[in-house]
Structure 1
Amino acid sequence: MSEPTQQRLDPGPAIPVYERQQQLGDLWTAVPEPARRRYRPRRAFWRHRAVRAGAVITLLALCGLVILALVRDQTGTEGFLVGLGLAVLPVPLLVAAFRWLDRVDPGPWRNLLFSFAWGAFAAALVAIIANTFAIRWIATATADPAGAESLGVTVIAPVVEESAKAAAILLVFLFRRRDFTGLVDGVVFAGFTATGFAFTENILYLGSAFGEDRSAGSAGLASITAATFFVRVVLAPFAHPLFTVLTGIGFGLAATAARHQKIRRLVLPPLGLVLAMGMHALWNGSTSLFGPFGFYAVYAVFMVPVFGLLTWLAIWSRQRELRTVSAELPAYAAAGWLPASAPQALSSMRARTVARDFAARTYGRQASRSVGEYEAFATSLAFLRHDARRGRTGPDFVEREQELLHHLWERRETAGPALTYAARATGRVPVPPPYIDYDGYNPYRQY
């Protein structure tokens, strides 16, 4: 009796030929053997994902407890609650805006939550302790409390706060490098970090203003709370994100640099941080530098144009990501990994939505989630190939490519028809009109 042959899963079509693929090692099968699938390498205790995640969560939780206790001590319980209720208002809008920007290749929520928590807890704690210590030390050394306060606002605070926020971007850049692929990722991580920082800072400022109003008996539109709310929440809720986005752009441009461009990778992040500090200092010192109307002058002449320019840059980068998807995926479609119309559908956010809706109506919610996963894996595959063409990938390119191809192959039966339908429904691919036979009748024929 002959031994039964081991059944292998269908690995799918051959991987597309890539110019440098021979230099990156021999190809592995798209679907690993079951024995290899169960293999787990031994790691040191501190290198386990659960241990690291637990340490980060514990650290941020401790920072959160300390900073909230400090803010409550300065504002009082009632002021803290009022500040909390008012400070939370712009957060959903800012989070939604940055999340929309990241829709082409959405990163894991854990990275965004880490960035927000770092800004709200760790960076805010470092800022409040360092700023208070520095201002008191300068006031004691110079015997000029007013000058120390002015110096702290215009010089010390921008340096300390932007450095503390930049630490979150640096950590994601170093330890979540696969999720940090370009300028858009830098903007998104910076935006979430700064939104968290502004949230905690607004609690402090609004709560303190409420306490001053209670002491002075002020209320209504003439109160300090109303003025603070108008400036920090209505007029310029984007101030802190705008500063820190410059740091994020520096890291994002460094992420797009090739491995041999070491100077670019080392210089751009500090340059972005310095620009963020400079803009922050100009904003904080607008009144002391340019008089009582300096704040509005800086806001109208400098902040609004820069905000518009950076918004355009972020949206342009988002569209560039879609063009990258359109340019890189046809090679995989030609090899049979993707439907012929998938690259066109995946390069349109509207077509992606149509594909998920079609899958939900036809096959159910689980199918819609499967199509969404397919879109995410295909986008990551396009970016991976784009980076490989520019020498920005490591020796694990082949493994990562085959892992993504395997995920696509598993979801092809559901995602293929949905993407084909979406490409036709949105006009991404031409659809010939149906042929109708009129029994040979032609009104232009001469009988």
Structure 2
Amino acid sequence: MFRALPGVLARPSGAVRTCVLVALLSCVTLSGVAILELVREQTGTAGFFVGLGLALLPVAPLMAAFRWLGRAAPLPWSRLLFCAGWGACTAALIAIVANNFASEWMAAAATDPSAADRLGSVAVAPVVEESAKAAALLLVFTFRRRHLTGPADGLVLAGFTATGFAFTENILYLGNAFGEDLDSGTTVLDSTTAATFFVRIMLSPFAHPLFTSLTGLGLGLAARSARRPVRTWLPPLGLGLAMGAHALWNSSSELGAYGFYVVYGCVMVPVFAALVGLAVRIRRGQLRTVARELRVYAGAGWLGPAEAAALASVPARALARALARSAGGRPAARAVAAYTADAAALALLRDGARSGGPRRVADFVDRERELLERLWRARAAAGPVLARAAVMEELSPPVTAPVTAPVSAPVPVPGPRRSGPCPGAMPAGHASPRPYALPDGGGVR
């Protein structure tokens, strides 16, 4: 199912995109109403609000961590919030309905109800929950595939989806625990609520993000690769690893008195640490790629050397946004943020064309032209602020990379019938993009 998709899915028209967007938003909204009511019925009103308040605590730190990971080439908030909403609403509803159905079916068919519960926790829940969360990533992979620049995007989208899912699940667990404590009159220190809060919020808030990140990593690598076997097998491999890790985590309580601590200390923590190290390395690699590729555009005149240096530095970008906000308010800061995001996307687009094969090259020209036009229109406002931030951060302007083809001086982007020059030749082994038409009829290759 991860092979080449039909053209209507790979490049949907405007009408198709609108219909899909309306359908997805309606799905998330309706499932959100349904899951909140379902959880409230199971936990009671008091338990629902207690669980809601406690479950909110890890959400902001987790989202901030994944947002930090994606700072090199930030994804739009609309896409991130869609994934979080899908995880909290649609995926959670699918999981709770499917898990309850499977548990009832196995309890009716089994002679030992406790064995049926264990089987549902270890064999059914991981498959259902990871598949439901992966659906959000697959939707982005299908309808916004050209905007996925690699594994970092997959990790960020997976993190937001899983954070939303864990939020709803934590409401259910904490709300039920609070209801049990109310019925038994347990003190706070000895309460089930305190124990549940410690395990789910303090000890393992990263559990669901860790599982789903394996799926996101597989999809991100597949979106970037030019090799068909990689694009075919990496996504299901990542999903399979996510299900396996989830199943191991759920089975830890069945492995004896210390099974949970053994799995937590010997598996979960090392895997989490390794994934964090990999994520940091990916982020650094993205920033190096942005710096390298923007040199080509600086050499072509689309960017100034100081701008290119600032765009490759996250602190300089933040300083530029702060300077713009102090001078022109939030609209100016948003304009600078959009400019930096477009520049990073442009750099990663060019890098992706080097390693993504003919499919990436086919998308390169139109997407590059779109991003260059947006940058050129916003450069007069954002460029000076970024240059000033580069000076204040004491960043050395990058040495301009040689351009392998003559490049005309950039011109202001006019209407749709006229356009700016193509900034440099494609790497060896790829067809050179068609030249942009210049006002005087010239062109570059």
Q: Same fold (TM over 0.5)?
A: yes
Task: Give the conservation status (yes or no) of the 8 Å contact 1:45–1:51.
Answer: no
Tell me which residue corresponds to 1:101. 69
Q: Do structure 1's residue 134 and structure 2's residue 79 form an aligned pair?
A: no
Q: Which has the higher contact order (CA 8 A, sep 6+)?
A: 1
Residue among 153, 166, 172 paired with 1:204: 172
What residue in structure 1 maps to residue 370 of structure 2?
403
Alignment of 1:370 onto 2:338? no
Partner amino acid, structure 2, of 1:415 = A
Amino acid at match of 2:273: G
Aligned positions of 1:42-441 closer than 5 A:
47-258=15-226, 261-289=227-255, 291-362=256-327, 365-392=330-357, 393-429=360-396
Show CA shifts across 1:8-59 (max 9, x none).
xxxxxxxxxxxxxxxxxxxxxxxxxxxxxxxxxxx99993544332221211
Q: Report Cα offsets for 1:307-336 as digits up to 9, x if no partner.
A: 111111111111111101111111111111
Q: Deviations over 1:371-427 (max 9, x none)?
A: 222211111110111111223415242222122111121122233322222222222
Q: What is the rounded CA distance, in whole Å, between the counterparts of 1:429 and 1:162 in structure 2?
A: 45
2:347 partner amino acid: A
Match in the other structure for 2:436: none
After TM superposition, the structure 1 stretch with the greater mean CA deviation from structure 2, 188-197 or 420-429, is 420-429
**1:193-225: CA deviation from partner (whole Å, max 9, x where unpaired):** 111111111111111111111111112110001
What secondary structure sits across from 1:92 in the alignment? helix
Q: Following the alignment from structure 1 to structure 2, what is the Cα–Cα distance between the partners of residues 364 and 227? A: 46
What residue identity is the alignment partner of 1:262? R
Q: Structure 2: give runs of 5+ residues left out of the alignment.
A: 1-10, 399-445
Q: 1:69 to 1:416 in 2, by over 3 A?
A: closer
Q: 1-side partners of 2:297 and 2:211: how far apart?
A: 40
Q: What is the CA distance between 1:362 and its match in structure 2?
A: 4.9
* Structure of larger gyration radius: 1
Deviation string for 1:156-188 (max 9, x for gaps)?
111111111111111111111133221111011
Task: Write out the 4+ residue segments of structure 1 that deviate beyond 6 Å after TM superposition.
Answer: 43-46
**1:361 Cα shift?**
4.1
Deviates more, 1:233-242 or 1:94-103: 94-103
Aligned AA (1:196):
G
**2:228 aligned partner, one-letter code:** K
Q: Which residue of 1 aligns with 2:429?
A: none
Classify the secondary structure of the residue corresponding to 1:358. helix
Query: Structure 1 vs Structure 2: percent identity of aligned residues?
Result: 58
CA distance in 2, matches of 1:231, 1:266: 37
Deviation at 1:364, TM superposition (A): 5.3
Distance 2:222 2:363 in 1: 20
Structure 1 runs not aligned, ≥5 long: 1-42, 432-447
Q: Is the contact between residue 424 and residue 430 of structure 1 (CA under 8 Å) also seen in structure 2?
A: no
8 Å CA contact 1:46, 1:52 repeated in 2:
no
Which moves more between the two structures, 107-116 or 386-395? Answer: 386-395
What's the secondary structure of 1:163's corresponding residue? helix
**Partner of residue 440, structure 1:** none
Work out the CA distance in 1 between the residues paired with 2:383 and 2:83.
Answer: 35
